[in-house]
Structure 1
Amino acid sequence: MTDLWLILALLLLPLAAIIAWPLLRPVAPGANAVDSNASADLQAHAVLYREHLAELEASRASGVVDETQYQSLKTELARKLLSEEGGGYRMAAARQGGRGLLFALAFLLPFTAVGLYFYWGSYSDLALYRDIAASQTGATDLVAEARITQQLRARAGSHPEDLTSRYVLAQRLLVSNDLAGAIAEYRYIVAREPQAANVRAELAQALFFASGSQVSPEVVKEVALVLEAQPDNATALGLAGIAAFEREDFAAARAHWQRALAQMPPGSSAAQALSAGVARAEQALAEAGGGQLQQPIAQVPAASTSGAEESAVSGSENRISVKVTLSEAVQASPDTPVFIYARTEESPMPLAIVRLAAADLPTEVVLDESKAMMPGRSLKTVDQVQVVARLAINGNARPAPGDWQGEIKLLPRSDWSKPVHIAIDQQM
């Protein structure tokens, strides 16, 4: 927040300096002489008034003027004195009162402006935005990640019209494997912005994961709506290819995956996965006797033509076999969620994750490319990981106080081929 305070200072301090300038500038030559002359004039007028008043009182006492004339002349004498001295009094009052006002403005204005900013401004929103930006670069820890998600939940409740913050929340929930929460947020957005095809595609993806990687009728419906609005949406094309493959329409599956592949950066993990899918579809076509389509389809780029072979090789390299046990000292209901995942030391976001229940332990799971949560972030992209097994007492995918976990703090790629063991025995 340092730059914010610097900007506020740059805006407010010059204004305060301008207000205080009359107090700080040197007194002009002769200004003191003018003030002395004005003071002497005021004293002379006062002496002259007292002399005239004494003469007037003497005239009343001798009977030259009666009481009525005395009061009238006295009033006129006082009016004349005030008219002659009024300018001097006003100048002195302006000098003294003006300095006090300038002092007050110079000090109060900056504090008032800062106070109004905190009351009416978006200080908390700016802080949340900075935390999210830090999270995306991996510069946050688990406590900060949990705080960000909680703040996004609170904002979603207090600002129902802020769909952008809700969308960020949905993505975070999806990555943390809180599929029910992610689906609820995606549905909220789509209900208010039905033309948001990208959001609808992510909703279809979340529904696909929630159904155990099965293409449900709702997934098919959402994918159809996305492709109607965006025929080249890679997420929807990938799901459409899976649906076609499941119904053994291998030609359609190959066509969908090839179109999705054209949207992916060459060499990315998503492109490699799609290349492997295209190879599977072509193999299934050949086995079914339909290797040649009546309408030619664009070939897979040369760098990906050996996708099946690369997938077989990378499948053996980019996998970690983990045996997970639960300490006897840990008491939990059988349906308590257990999250087993691999991540980098720099980022809390999982590269591969599996969700089980306490009743499933002890067990052995495999973390590989198929367990990746986001395109472009998988085991293939790193050379060392942390492996964590966590018993989520509160059922939250995000770590929370009271959870139990075990971990391997550093597992280099050279040891991935060896089975590892994690005992859940440490309370957070």
Structure 2
Amino acid sequence: MTELWILLALLVLPLAAFIAWPVLRRRRKISGAVGAETAGAEAAQKALFREHVAELEQSLASGAIDEAQYRSMHAELARKFLKEEGPAFQLAEANLGGRGLLFALVFAVPFCAVGLYLSWGAHDDLALYRDIVASQSGQADMDSEARITQRLRERAESHPEDLTGRYVLAQRLLVSNDLQGAVTQYRYIVAHEPGAVAIRAELAQALFFANGSRMTPEVSAEVAKVLEAQPGNTTALGLAGIAAFEEKQFGEARSYWQQALVQMTPGSNAYQALAAGVARAEAALAKAGGDVNGAATTAKSGVAEAAEVADSAAGENSIRVKVTLSDAASAAPETPVFIYARTAESPMPLAIVRLTAADLPVEVVLDESRAMMPSRSLKSVDEVELVARLAVSGNARPAPGDWQGQVKSLPRSDWGKPVDIAIDEKI
């Protein structure tokens, strides 16, 4: 906020000087003119007074008036001179009137400008943005985190059109285990931006968790919509496999999981979990007396299709990142690792991948399939900041004790080259 007030001062002070300068300059001119006018009037009054005194002295000398009359008439003449001298000065002072109003404007205009900004401006939004950035960098305590969440709730009410802020709120609620609150926010975003396929997948996942990790008709409907628009979405494929397995469609379950598996980093926890799911589906299929080989053929077809989808997603709007972990950054194998691209102006990721410490070192591709919202993805920018963060705290938001590495500026012209990031800086 300090920079804001300095900027306001730089804008307001020249305005005040612009108003005050002509006033001060005019005052000097008027003061000079009034001084000359006053001196001329005073000289004329004195000359007239001396003339009248000379006439009285002549009358006294000729005997036309006596001594008593002379003194009386002289005193009256003096009183008249003093009385007539005052209005000249009063008129001169009246000519200076109006400068008080201008001086009042010098102070009133800046204060009014600041007041109007505080009333109509976006200084609250700027303060919230700064707090979110501080939270992202791990500089916020628990009280600050709670305050940010509350302010995001209030902003969602006062600015319902701000879907980005609402998405940040949904993520915070999901991390804090407020599943119903997160579902509410995700539903609102999807209702107002139906093309946000990645967020619809997150909605399906939040609904799944909110219902005790059970598939429901609503979750299945959302998954179907996601897969129709984005067949290679790993979140939706994973949920579709769960639904198929619960319905004892073991071949379909394995096919869905295989399609998701081909997009995972080999050896990662997510990869191992899906591989275990595939093995479980195969075992269940064999126990049920199903055609394991036929199912395998279907799975391979699905894998090929998923690979084709993944390849088509890569291209000019993709960045290949290799992430390594410094020896100094020790953490449990299950510690989350977030790898994402964002702009310098916003902490909201344009593309993000979530892994674990056990997956490192690893090479991932950030592309359109990793986007959170279609309106904010890699294709919409020409320069990004890359961040790889070891979330020791376990939270999606940076916190003290986390480790990270970053590339502060990567122009589009360098996106075709592999980028190395070492997680070696403690927050």
TM bucket by the smaller chain? 0.5 to 0.7
- After TM superposition, give the deviation of residue 173 of structure 1 in Å: 0.9
Q: Distance in 1 between matches of 2:154 and 2:2?
A: 25
Query: Structure 2 CA distance, aligned partners of 1:275 and 1:42?
Result: 105
CA positional deviation for 1:200: 2.0
| Aligned 1:182-193 pairs, distance under 5 A | 182-193=182-193
Q: Which residue number in structure 1 is paired with residue 167 of structure 2?
A: 167
Q: Which residue is 1:6 aligned to?
A: 6
1:201 and 1:236 in contact (8 A); partners too:
yes
Q: Does the CA-based 8 Å contact 2:183-2:203 persist in structure 1?
A: yes
Structure 1 pair 31/296, CA: closer, same or farther in 2 (3 Å)? closer
Which moved further from structure 2: 242-251 or 125-134?
242-251
Amino acid at match of 1:231: P
Query: Match for 1:125: what amino acid?
Result: D
For residues 132-178 of structure 1, the C-alpha deviation after alignment (integer angstroms, 9 at most, x for no partner) is 22222222111111111222223333444444333322221111111
Deviation at 1:33, TM superposition (A): 5.3
Structure 2 counterparts to residues 195-344 of structure 1, below 5 A: 195-247=195-247, 249=249, 252-253=252-253, 255-257=255-257, 259-260=259-260, 266=265, 272-274=269-271, 276-278=273-275, 280-281=277-278, 284-285=281-282, 288-290=292-294, 291-293=296-298, 295=301, 297-298=303-304, 318=333
8 A Cα contact 2:226 2:233, kept in partner: yes
Contact 1:254 1:281 (8 Å CA) reproduced: yes
Is the 1:179–1:209 Cα contact (8 Å) retained in structure 2?
yes
Give the root-mean-square deviation of aligned CA atoms: 4.6
- Cα deviation, 1:62-121, whole Å, max 9, x if unaligned, reads xxxxxxxxxxxxxxxxxxxxxxx99x99986454533x3342222222222111111122
Taking structure 1 as reference, are residues 231 and 144 closer, same or farther at Cα in structure 2, changes over 3 Å only? same
Q: What secondary structure, in the 3-state scheme, does the structure 2 residue paired with 1:376 have? A: strand
Number of matched pairs: 287
Counting aligned pairs with the same residue, the percent is: 53
Q: Deviations over 1:232-262 (max 9, x none)?
A: 4343233223333444555544554455466
- 2:169 alignment partner, SS class: helix
Does the 8 Å CA contact 2:270/2:355 hold for their aligned counterparts? no
One-letter amino acid of the counterpart of residue 12, structure 2: L
Tell me if the contact between 1:234 and 1:263 (Cα under 8 Å) persists in the aligned partners: yes
Change (3 A) 1:250 1:10: farther
Report if the CA contact (8 A) 1:226-1:233 is conserved. yes
Instruction: Look up the match of 2:36.
Output: 37
Which SS does the other structure have where 2:354 is aligned?
Answer: coil
Shift of 1:277: 1.1
Which structure 2 residues correspond to residues 412-427 of structure 1 after superposition, within 5 A?
Answer: none
Q: 1:148 to 1:229 in 2, by over 3 A?
A: same
User: TM-score, normalized by length of structure 1?
Assistant: 0.53
User: Tell me, what secondary structure is at the counterpart of 2:177?
Assistant: coil
Distance 2:136 2:25 in 1: 51
Distance 2:227 2:153 in 1: 30
In 2 relative to 1, CA 137–378 (structure 1 residues): closer, same or farther, beyond 3 Å? farther
How has the CA–CA distance of structure 1 residues 206 and 39 changed in structure 2, closer, same or farther, with 3 Å as cutoff?
Answer: same
Asked whether the equivalents of residues 201 and 223 of structure 1 are also in contact (C-alpha less than 8 Å), the reply is: yes
| Superposed displacement of residue 12, structure 1 | 1.2
1:187 partner letter = R
Checking the alignment, whether the CA contact within 8 Å between 1:241 and 1:256 is kept in structure 2 is yes
Amino acid at match of 1:298: A
Q: For residues 356 and 175 of structure 2, what CA distance do their matches in structure 1 show?
A: 12
Q: Matches of 1:384 and 1:167 in 2, distance apart?
A: 20
TM-superposed CA distance for 1:184, in Å, is 2.2
